[in-house]
């Protein structure tokens, strides 16, 4: 049963906060955390990410970048990264993650590109991939016997 998910990207200010917000809406009973391999520690989510999530009634404005740490990897039931190079990096430096480390786009067989320093259209395309990955994983988690997801359309506020 999946009780905790760690979401990992590079800077922890674009992709992770958006994925975290979407998972929080779909899996409110699951503990969610995020971190970056090379995080912009203490930085807020990118303004474009905040804006796009606000349009989905999800508030990620309280998010702050956090560096990936071994204890986070050890305590998570599932670790989701954005692309294959990140997966390989984590497998190399945190070998105990094998078996619980996957790409967010694993089931669709896609990587999620980094929209950092891109324009709004880059963030929209990135978010569409993240939404697909979150939907795929939510369905898998529900099918695995974890508590069924309770989707909500109320304001979701992410704090970290």
Write out the catalytic residue numbers: 9, 15, 114
Q: Is 150 in a helix, a strand, or coil?
A: coil
Question: What region does 113 belong to: left with phi over 0, alpha with psi -120 to 50, or beta?
Answer: beta
User: What is the 3-state composition of the chain as percent helix, strand, coil, each rounded to the nearest 5?
Assistant: 40, 20, 40
Question: Distance (Å, rounded) from C-alpha 105 to C-alpha 49?
Answer: 19
Alpha-carbon separation of residue 50 from 110, 112, 118, 146 (angstroms): 24, 18, 14, 29
């Amino acid at each position: 049963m999946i009780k905790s998910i760690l979401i990992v990207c590079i800077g922890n200010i674009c992709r992770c906060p958006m994925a975290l917000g979407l998972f929080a809406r779909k899996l409110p009973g699951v503990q969610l955390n995020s971190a970056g391999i090379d995080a912009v520690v203490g930085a807020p989510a990118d303004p474009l990410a905040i804006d796009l999530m606000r349009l989905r009634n999800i508030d990620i404005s309280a998010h702050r970048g956090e560096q990936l740490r071994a204890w986070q990897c050890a305590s998570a039931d599932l670790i989701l990264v954005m692309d294959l190079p990140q997966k390989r990096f984590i497998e190399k430096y945190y070998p105990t993650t094998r078996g619980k480390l996957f790409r967010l786009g694993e089931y669709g067989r896609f990587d999620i590109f980094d929209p950092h320093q891109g324009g709004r259209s880059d963030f929209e395309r990135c978010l569409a991939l993240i939404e697909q990955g979150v939907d795929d994983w939510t369905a898998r988690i529900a099918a695995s016997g974890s508590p069924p997801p309770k989707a909500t359309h109320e304001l979701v506020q992410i704090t970290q």
